[in-house]
C-alpha cells in the first residue's frame, strides 16, 4: 500500500500564536503524527516558530515564493530565505487574486527547482472553464510550463479544481480519476519512466475527514492538499487518523 501524503496549506488562516497553539496540540498527541507523510505550510512569518516548536519530524513548506533569490524586492520572500522541504507554486488563489499568469508561475517553478525544495505545482479549472468544456485545454496550458528535463528532481502536481476549493463541492471519484488520468498521460508524453517515478499527483479542494476515506479510493491519488480543514487541530487530527500508513 502506498503512503498517502497530507499537505496542510494553512493559507493565511493562522497568526503566529494560533500556529504555535496548533503545533503544541499536535506535540501533545504526537504518536498519531509519527511516521506519517505530512507537510505543513504555515504563513511565511510563522515558519520559524512552527519549526522551533515542533517536537516531531514533520516536513515544512512555503505556500509561495518570489521569482528572485535575493535583492531589492520589498515585501517578498525568497525560496532560499529559510530551509524548507517544499514550496507550492501556482495556487489558484495566487493565479486569481494576485493575477499570476503562467509566465510568473513558470519563473517561480524555476526558482524552486533551482533550490533544494521540491515544487508542488497547482493546476485546475474554474467553474466557468469547466462549463465551457475548457478543462483539458486549461490543464494543458498550466502544464506547459513544466521543464523538459526534471534532472532527477521530485515534482508534485496538485489537481485542484477552483470550484471545489473552499466550497464543499467535491468532485466525484470518477471525475477526479478522469482528470488525474489525463494529467498522468500528459506527463507520460513529457517525461521518461525514471522521471515519472519522481512525480506525485495530489488532489485538493474541500478535503476533510468526512470525505478523505472515499477519496483515497481514487487509485492515482498520492496525496491531498488540504486548506481550511488542516488549519483546525481537531479536524486535522480526524484527517490524519484515517491514514493507514
Provide DSSP, 67-91: SSSSSS-TT---GGGS--SEEEES-
Stretch that binds ligand PGA, among 112-120, 147-155, 191-199, 203-211 (CB under 6 A): 203-211
Cell of 168: 464543499
Catalytic residue among 29, 44, 91, 125: 91
Which of 228, 232, 237, 238 binds ligand PGA (CB under 6 A)? It is 228
Q: Show contacts with ligand PGA in window 132-161 (CB under 6 A).
A: 160
Give catalytic status of residue 160 as yes or no: yes
* Cell 481550511, located at residue: 228
The reply to whether 20 sits near ligand PGA by the rule CB under 6 A is no
Spatial separation of the C-alpha atoms in residues 46 and 106, rounded to whole Å: 26
Spatial separation of the C-alpha atoms in residues 170 and 64, rounded to whole Å: 24
The reply to whether 171 sits near ligand PGA by the rule CB under 6 A is no
Spatial separation of the C-alpha atoms in residues 50 and 63, rounded to whole Å: 14
Give catalytic status of residue 91 as yes or no: yes
Q: Name which of 92 and 191 has its Cβ closer to ligand PGA.
A: 92
Catalytic positions, please? 91, 160
Which residues of this chain interact with ligand PGA, rule CB under 6 A? Answer: 9, 160, 165-166, 204-207, 225-229
Amino acid at each position: 500500500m502506498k503512503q498517502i501524503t497530507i499537505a496542510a496549506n494553512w493559507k493565511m488562516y493562522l497568526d503566529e500564536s494560533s500556529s504555535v497553539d496548533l503545533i503544541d496540540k499536535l506535540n501533545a498527541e504526537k504518536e498519531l503524527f509519527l511516521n506519517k507523510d505530512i507537510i505543513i505550510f504555515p504563513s511565511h512569518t510563522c515558519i520559524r516558530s512552527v519549526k522551533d516548536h515542533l517536537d516531531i519530524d514533520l516536513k515544512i513548506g512555503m505556500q509561495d515564493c518570489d521569482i528572485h533569490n535575493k535583492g531589492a524586492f520589498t515585501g517578498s520572500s525568497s525560496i532560499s530565505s529559510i530551509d524548507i522541504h517544499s514550496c507550492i507554486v501556482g495556487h489558484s488563489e495566487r493565479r486569481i487574486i494576485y493575477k499570476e499568469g503562467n509566465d510568473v508561475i513558470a519563473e517561480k517553478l524555476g526558482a524552486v527547482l533551482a533550490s533544494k525544495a521540491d515544487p508542488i505545482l497547482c493546476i485546475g479549472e474554474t467553474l466557468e472553464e469547466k462549463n465551457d468544456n475548457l478543462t483539458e485545454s486549461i490543464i494543458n496550458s498550466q502544464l506547459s510550463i513544466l521543464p523538459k528535463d526534471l534532472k532527477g528532481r521530485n515534482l508534485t502536481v496538485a489537481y485542484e479544481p477552483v470550484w471545489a476549493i473552499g466550497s464543499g463541492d467535491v468532485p466525484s471519484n470518477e471525475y477526479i480519476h478522469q482528470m488525474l488520468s489525463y494529467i498522468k498521460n500528459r506527463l507520460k508524453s513529457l517525461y521518461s519512466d525514471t522521471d515519472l517515478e519522481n512525480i506525485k499527483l495530489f488532489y485538493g479542494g474541500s478535503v476533510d475527514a468526512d470525505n478523505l476515506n472515499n477519496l483515497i479510493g481514487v487509485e492515482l491519488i498520492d496525496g491531498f492538499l488540504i486548506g481550511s480543514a488542516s488549519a483546525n487541530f481537531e479536524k486535522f487530527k480526524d484527517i490524519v487518523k484515517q491514514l493507514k500508513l
